[in-house]
Amino acid sequence: MEWSYKIGTIYGIPLRLHITFPMLIIAYAALFGYEYGLMAAFRGSILILLLFACVVLHELAHSKQAQRYGVKVRDVTLLPIGGVSNMEHIPEDPQQELRIAIAGPAISFVIGIVLLMINLAAGLPVFDFNFEKIATSSSYIFVYLAWINIFLAFFNLLPAFPMDGGRVIRAYLAQRMNYIKATHIAATIGKIFAIIFGIVGFVINPILIFIAFFVYLGASSEEQSVMVGESLKGLRVKDVMNAQCVTIPAETSLLALVEKIFHGSCRGVILVTEEDQYVGLASQENILSAIHEHGLDIEVGKIAKRDLPTVSPEDRLDDIYRKMQRDQQRAYAVTDREELVGIISLEDLGRAYSLVAALRSEKE
């Protein structure tokens, strides 16, 4: 994820921290410290750090369960709104998706119950605490932490896609209907919850408006992603790739390249070669940025993205679509036995999806 930085590795899974996360620590420190002083501000910071340690355990539960089914977990990223496990794909078996989805809330619930039992054993009134007690006594931090974990367990199980509960609903429905329809129903339920959150947020707590925005966008994004991915199943890279693409030598200046673009001989993402061997890609965004920064005399080889993975003509198109989403890459060079044979871009996938969707609509 952009604007996030690696802070460690747990069970072989990189742990990343989003640049906005420290803002939450500062906000809680200010909230506690404004009324109760410096020590309260320190307790507020500790509370957030402990809470997100619990969030890491929640996400690791998802990730470890996914790894049991052969799913590669690229990383876990901590955001101000929680954690995100970045998996290469979701298993097609609904039972496996169900177990992955339920693992996180189960861990949060167990953490909450264990902390409650410890607090009860310590003689703390677990049903009688308030903001002032948390701010003025370190002991009550763990009472709050217990209840917030239990709350997070149940909140995440709300059937509001893309939260864990939404994935549970989709996994349940996918055992009774096709995956696209199951995702559509789960996403629709998620959007309804988002609207409810938004309305309640205007009346009670503005934070719910932020959550509503996140849930609605997440549901829409997941639905679109599944619709495109499922529609592309059965197609291969060779079916839609551009085999007539123009290659540009690395020593070509940006001025000469821009002239080719204006004349229509180059467009989209450009394949860059050295001594007739593929070395990288140059996108329109790279070119425009380089012109502003270096002028028109710089060689295209110096701005090309190198060491990018290539794909095979026989690769499945739905796998390539997920790969583009995962790598945030708009195009890949296509090679066959190390020979450059074409290029496939997100636009090519979009055209293929539009055609498949039109054919399906015609049949219906």
pLDDT of 170 reads: 92
pLDDT in tens, the chain (364 residues): 567 788 889 888 889 888 877 777 788 788 778 777 888 888 888 888 898 899 999 999 999 999 999 998 888 888 776 788 888 888 889 999 999 999 999 999 999 999 999 989 988 888 876 767 777 777 888 888 999 899 989 988 988 877 899 999 999 999 999 888 999 999 999 999 999 999 998 888 787 888 888 889 888 988 888 888 888 988 999 999 988 877 888 998 888 888 877 776 666 788 888 888 889 898 888 888 888 888 888 888 888 888 888 999 999 999 899 888 878 888 999 999 888 898 999 889 999 998 888 877 766 5
* HEC readout, the chain: CCCEEEEEEECCEEEEEECCHHHHHHHHHHHHHHHHCHHHHHHHHHHHHHHHHHHHHHHHHHHHHHHHCCCCEEEEEEECCEEEEEECCCCCCHHHHHHHHHHHHHHHHHHHHHHHHHHHHCCCCCCCCCHHHHHHCCHHHHHHHHHHHHHHHHHHCCCCCCCHHHHHHHHHHHCCCCHHHHHHHHHHHHHHHHHHHHHHHHHCCCHHHHHHHHHHHHHHHHHHHHHHHHHCCCCEHHHHCECCCCEEECCCEHHHHHHHHHCCCCCCCEEEEECCEEEEEECHHHHHHHHHHHCCCCEHHHCCEECCCCECCCCEHHHHHHHHHHHCCCEEEEEECCEEEEEEEHHHHHHHHHHHHHHHHHHC
pLDDT of 44 reads: 83
pLDDT of 325 reads: 84
Domains in the chain: ranges and CATH: 4-231 (no CATH), 237-363 (3.10.580.10)
pLDDT of 36 reads: 79
Q: Would you name the residues annotated as active-site residues?
A: 59
pLDDT of 95 reads: 93
